[in-house]
Amino acid sequence: MSNTLLIGAVAYDPKVITIWDGFQKWFAAHGFDLDYILYSNYERQVAGQFAGHYHVAWNSPLAWLQTERIAARVGRQVEALAMRDTDCDLTSVIVVRSDSSIDSIEALRGKTVAVGASDSPQASLIPLIHLAEAGLEPGKDFTVRPFDVLVGKHGDHIGGERDAAKALIEGTVDAACMIDGNHLLFSKEGTLSSGSTRILAQTDEYDHCNFTVLDGPLEDTIMRFRELLLSMSYDDPTVRSLLDLEGLKVWKPGRTEKYALLARAIDRFGTVDAFVTKLSKQCA
C-alpha cells in the first residue's frame, strides 16, 4: 500500500464511484496501483491534501485557486498535472428571454439576475465578474438571486443552473447565468424551449478542472500516473465509457493561465479569503 497513489475527488454525483472504480481497474491493468478517497465538498478535500491524506486532487477551478493560494502562504509548491480537453477554453453566458426588452448589460441595472450556486465558477462567479467589470456591481446595481444547490461542490452538478434557467422562463428573474454548454443542454432537453431565450452577453474564456499535486513524496509515481493518464485513448473500448461519463475525449497537460478570470472574481468578491486564511494558519 505504500506505493499506492491516492486520488482525492468530490462525490458530486453517484457516477463518480463508477468512474473511479473503472479508472482504478484500468490503471491496475497497466501495472499501476491507484485508489481514491471521496469527499463531500471541495473545502474538505483541499484541507485533506494539505494534511497529507492523499497525493493528487481532482479539483474544481475554485479548489485549484484555493490550493494555489494556501500553498503560496505556507511555502509549498503546487502544480496542475493534467486536465480534460473539455476543461479548456470555456465561456459562460448571461441569457434573457427572447421577448425581453433588455438589449444590453446596462439594461440589467435595477433588474434581477439568477445565478447557480454561490460557489459555482461557471454559473455565478465568472458571469458576475463579467458584469462587474462592465460597470454593474452585483447586489448594488442589480439584484443577484442565487440558486444554492449543493454548495461546497462548486457547481459540478447543474441543479442550480437549471433552476436559474427555469426561473427565467417562469418570469421571476430578468436574466440567468450558466455555462454555454448548459445553455445548449437546457434547450435540447426542453428546460429552455426552442427560441425562448437569447444570449445577452458572453464571458471571456476560462479553464475548468485539473489534477492538482503538491510537492512531496512519490514524485516518480505521480509522474507515472500523469504519463498513463495522458496515454488513455478514446479508441480503447475498456476506457471509452469512463471517459464519456467524465465528459472528455482526451486528457491534456495541465495549464493555469486561464484561471485568471476566476481569480479576478474571487479577489473582487472575497469568495475564498476566510477559508484560505483559516487553513493557511492551520498548516503553518
Chain centre distance of CA 72: 21
Q: Which cell numbers in the block locate residue 224? A: 507515472
Give pLDDT, residue 8. 98
Q: Which contacts (CB < 8 Å, 24+ apart) does range 40-48 have?
A: 40/10, 40/11, 40/152, 41/10, 41/152, 41/153, 42/10, 42/66, 42/152, 42/153, 42/154, 43/152, 43/275, 44/152, 45/8, 45/9, 45/10, 46/70, 46/275, 46/279, 47/279, 47/282, 48/8
Can you list the residues of the chain whose pLDDT is less than 70? 1-2
pLDDT tens, residue by residue, 117-142: 999 999 999 999 999 999 999 999 99
Cα–Cα–Cα angle for 150, 212, 74, rounded to 5 degrees = 95
Give pLDDT, residue 1. 47
> What domains does the chain contain, in order, with CATH numbers?
5-87+208-283 (3.40.190.10), 92-202 (3.40.190.10)
Give pLDDT, residue 157. 79
- Whole-number Å distance between alpha carbons of 277 and 271: 12
Give pLDDT, residue 230. 98
Give pLDDT, residue 2. 66
Please name the amino acid found at residue 69. Answer: R
Give pLDDT, residue 63. 98
- Whole-number Å distance between alpha carbons of 111 and 20: 43
The model carries a pTM of: 0.95
